[in-house]
Amino acid sequence: MRGFTLIELTIVLAIMLMLSAIVGSLSSNTLPKSQLHSESEAAVQSLRRAQALSIAGKHDTVWGVHVTATTMTLFAGATYATRDTQHDQVRTFPSGITVSGLTDVVFQALTGETSNTGTITLTANATSETEVITVNAQGLVEK
């Protein structure tokens, strides 16, 4: 007789199920991690753009970034409250990302320095992984 026995088929099926479970769990962690990395890179770029615009004196004002748990706004003006709203550039974070830490970072004209120093932490809710962005007094923004 040629063919497979029921035991052989059951063993192959069990192995395939175990492999698919492993692959499924690995891929479920990959998406939040990738999204976290992408969003932290975008946040760093927003901060660096605000600094560059301040140094360049674009629209004859200083620039900053306002951060909430769900959004990041690049703005023109000395404070978020007194900003020129026509220049706002708002980025909304995906629902799986939470942001905490510094709420406002404003860069000085010409030097790009800031008195708003500290960290901004992005957290992937699904995995609790974090990425931390640091801003120092010289305006250096790094992860």
CATH classification of the domain holding 34:
3.55.40.10
Strand partners, 66: 73, 104
46 domain-assigned: yes
Please give the tally of structural domains in the chain.
1
88 domain-assigned: yes
Give tens-digit pLDDT for 57-105: 999 999 999 999 999 999 999 999 999 999 999 999 999 899 999 999 9
Asked if 107 and 64 count as a contact pair (C-beta separation under 8 A), the reply is: yes
Please name the amino acid found at residue 28. Answer: S
Distance between CA atoms of residues 91 and 72, nearest Å: 5
Distance between CA atoms of residues 139 and 112, nearest Å: 6
1 domain-assigned: no
| Parent domain of 18 | 6-142
Global pTM reads: 0.79
Confidence of residue 5 (pLDDT cuts 50, 70, 90): confident
